[in-house]
Every structure is written in C-alpha cells, then in structure tokens.
Chain A
C-alpha cells in the first residue's frame, strides 16, 4: 500500500493512496463540516460544505472527494473557508422553505446544526419562497420538498445499500428534485421496499415517517444501519 505524506493545517500527516482529505482528517481528529457525505455511502461532492484550501489550487476543494497527494498542503480552517461554508448554508436555507419551528426535524437536523456551528443567525440573501410539493402517497413515509437540500443521501442509500434504486434526481439547478421511480408517486412505486433507509439518512426534515409531529422526527430516526450514523447525531 503506498502512502502519501502531506500537511494538514501545518501538521505532517500520512494517508493511504486513494484516501480522501476528509478520511485522513477524520483519522487525525480534525473535524471538517459535511452535509452530503455519509460514512458507508459513496461520496458525490454535492453540498460543498467540506471545502478546504489546497496550496497551488485556485479554488477550494471538496475534502470528501479530493484524494490525498504527496506533498499536498491542506488548510481546513480559515476565515475565508468559514465564510464560504456559511454562505453555502445560507443558500441552502433560502433556496427552499425551511421553517424550523414547525418542522418534523426541529432539534435533530444537520442543516440547523450547521447554522449554529457556522454562526449563521440570519440570512442576507432574500428567501426564494418557491412553491413546492409534499408527496405523502406512501403508506409509511412522506417527502416534503420544502426541506430537501439535494444531498442525494436517499438516492445513494437506496441504490447502494438497499439495492432498490427507487430514488433519482430529476431536473437541473434550481429545478432539481429527488423523484421516486422517474416521477411516479412514492406510494405507487414498484421498486420501493418500504425499508425506510432513505428516511433514516435524510439530514433534514425532507423525508420523514408519517405520524410524527413537529420536532418528533428525531427519536428512532437512525436506529438501524449503525455504520451509517452521522457523527454527533442527536447530541445537541
């Protein structure tokens, strides 16, 4: 196994070839904010919360999909990175309708937690207030697009762990939506096994179990798939 040595916030570290910056940082106890990344699933670099600076590269790099290289100089904390990350969080909030006080995920939401961690206490950008749908046709679960951050965790867990591949992303940019079976109502999905894995991994209140009231999404939200538990889940 070949090993790459490089620096992480000035400290010399080593990582196996093929490892990502995020993996090595986690091994080293250096925490980098993430949202779309979830241990146990493939990484897609969808959210850009995990951006880090790499000397010699013009733009910040997503740590979750950037492999380590020999001699790299990586910076995980700086004022500029904090600002970038805070802006990403702000854009996620204003792009859809996040009304935490009446959300099923209130108090157990990774987007909410990120806002606290990054000091986002209001939004400079105006809210877009799009008109979005809720699909509650499934017997057990519902999806509220008002709360979706397009992390695609649901898409990946359904495909990679459950093997059903019910979910996909349709549309581009601001029009992108996660859809079940190419746009079939979830309740009519011929592929969904009702395993609930997508609900468990959803970082926000977008996917939830029916019958849960405001702030009740937490509880048994992620009791199974222990290897998929997000770090710090439910600790706040």
Chain B
C-alpha cells in the first residue's frame, strides 16, 4: 500500500504541539505504516517538498520569514491543519498585538537596556506588526485547537485525514487552552 505524504511545520510556537505529537508514542509506528514524514523539524530535510498530502502547522505567523514559509507550504500541500492554539488564534505570540511591533521592540531592546541598545536586525527576520493566526494568511482546511492539542486528538485527526479507519474519538473534545 502506498503511504501518504505527511509534513509538520514549526512557525511561532514553543514546540509544545510537536511534543504532543511525539506523545503518540507507539502509535507513531502505526502512523508510519500509513504515512511518510517528508518534512518536519523532526527529520533532516531542508526544503519543503511538493505534493504533501497533510501538513500540521504549529505556531502563529509572526515574521516576514513565517509569512514566506507558510505561503510556500500552502502551495505544496493538499490538507493544511492549523495545529494548536498558536496556529489557530495566535495565542501567546498575540500577547504583543495590543502594543504593535515597533513599540514592543523599542521597549525590549532600547528603553530597557543599559548596554548595546538597538533592535536586532541581523539573522532574525523582521516582526510583522501583529502575530496572526495561520488562516488569516492562507486558507486552512482543519483546525485543531488546544495548547497543546492532546495526543489522542492528534492521533484521531491524523488517521481520519490519512483516510485510515479512525480509532475511538478522544475523550476530551477539542478546545482552546
């Protein structure tokens, strides 16, 4: 049987959603029978490949770099999953939204420092004025709220999206937080 092509992407999040994905534990082996992990922070592939069936996106869109990445991911993916609260609502990264990027950077890197004050511009990509949920930027097919989404929920959702007979729906319904 041909395996489906699965990817995971890590934008502005804490990696907790990926940790929860790893909490599938032995069920990862079962998943590997149905899908090949073609791109992920967990595998050593540099370029997001074309023809991805399902992609879990963790994190909000917070920088120009995130913006470029999510657009190319979208273009190469059939089913995009907003994976966890940061992707779904912008969650913790959005704490800065009432303030705006420029005043925030000013406060953090200029006003509050005694030495070498200055907003970093090298290596780090520029912040967007606001952290955005993924679906504000590109269309999203599936929303998986939770901080992080519980492993049972990830398992059930992935099997369903991969077209495999899904197991028992998780006890806790998906919710924010």
Chain A contact residues, CB within 8 Å of chain B: 97-103, 106-107, 109, 112-113, 115-116, 121-123, 126-127, 129-132, 215
Contact = CB atoms under 8 A, between A and B. Distances in A.
A122 B91 contact: no
B99 interface: yes
A119 to B, nearest CB: 9
B97 to A, nearest CB: 4
Nearest to A215: B177
Given A122-B82, A123-B89, A103 B177 contact: yes
5 contacts: A116-B174, A116-B175, A122-B82, A127-B90, A132-B98
Given A99-B95, A131-B98, A121 B147 contact: no
Chain A binding surface, main DSSP class: loop
Interface of B: 82, 85, 88-92, 94-95, 97-99, 130, 133, 135-136, 140, 143-145, 147, 173-177
A131 B130 CA distance: 13
A122 B136 contact: no
A100 B176 contact: yes
Contacts of B89: 99, 122-123, 127
A130 B176 contact: no
Contacts of B145: 121-122
A97 B130 CA distance: 13
Contacts of B147: 100-101
B9 to A, nearest CB: 17
B91 A99 contact: yes
A204 to B, nearest CB: 12
A131 B100 CA distance: 10
A14 to B, nearest CB: 35
A109 B175 CA distance: 11
Given A122-B88, A129-B130, A112 B177 contact: yes
Interchain residue pairs A-B with the least CB separation, the first 5: A100-B177, A101-B147, A129-B97, A131-B98, A100-B176
Contact of B97 (A101, A102, A113, A127): A127
Contacts of B174: 116, 121
A33 to B, nearest CB: 15
A103 B130 CA distance: 21
Contacts of A107: 177
Question: Which of B89, B90, B133 counts the most chain A CB atoms within 10 A?
Answer: B89
A188 B13 CA distance: 40
A144 to B, nearest CB: 13
Nearest to B140: A122
Nearest to A122: B143
